[in-house]
């Protein structure tokens, strides 16, 4: 028995494969992940490390708003100084909002920038610390 071969079926299958590949990995090619953030807790402090190479401290707007740490920055293009043959880093305005696990004391926030890493230390608000209850 003879079957017919349709090249368009193969093209459609290939397109479906590509669509599935990119739909299953929504982070590819998006700038929403930048700047990259690591968050960890140590005793009553939350430490946030923001990895932002090529960004100067004065170009970062850092705010605490309603238990969220907001990081606004702009990575300026250096294309005029160095015309690229290949460019894998994105440039432009970026914003990241980090939801904090509990309220922090707004008067005890420390931030510093060194070697492209912004470090932010936030101290837990006194009223959110666990209290030992004495049983009589």
| CA dist., res. 129 & res. 127, Å (int) | 6
**Predicted TM-score (pTM) of this structure:** 0.66
User: Structure tokens of 113?
Assistant: 């920038």
Which of the following CATH numbers is that of domain 31-127: 1.10.260.40, 1.10.10.10, 2.60.40.790, 3.40.50.700? 2.60.40.790
Report pLDDT digits (tens) over 51-82: 888 788 898 999 999 889 999 887 777 667 77
Order the strands of the 92-99 sheet from edge to edge: 60-65, 68-75, 92-99
* Residue 118 vs residue 8, higher pLDDT: 118
Domain boundary assignment for the chain? 31-127
Question: For position 76, what pLDDT does the model report?
Answer: 74
| CA dist., res. 60 & res. 72, Å (int) | 6
* Residue 120 vs residue 85, higher pLDDT: 120
How high does pLDDT run on average in the chain? Answer: 81
Report CA dihedral (48, 49, 51, 56) to the nearest 10 degrees.
90
């Amino acid at each position: 028995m003879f079957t017919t071969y349709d090249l368009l079926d193969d093209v459609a299958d290939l397109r479906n494969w590509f669509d599935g590949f990119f739909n299953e990995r929504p982070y590819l090619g998006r700038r929403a992940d930048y700047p990259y953030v690591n968050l960890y807790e140590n005793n009553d402090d939350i430490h946030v490390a923001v990895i932002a190479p090529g960004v100067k401290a004065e170009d970062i707007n850092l705010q605490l708003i309603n238990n969220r740490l907001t990081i606004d920055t702009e990575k300026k293009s250096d294309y005029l100084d160095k015309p690229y043959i290949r460019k894998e880093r994105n440039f432009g305005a970026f914003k990241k909002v980090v939801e904090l696990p509990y309220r922090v004391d707004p008067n005890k926030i420390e931030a510093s920038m060194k070697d492209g890493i912004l470090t932010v230390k936030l101290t837990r608000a006194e009223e959110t610390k666990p209290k030992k209850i004495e049983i009589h």
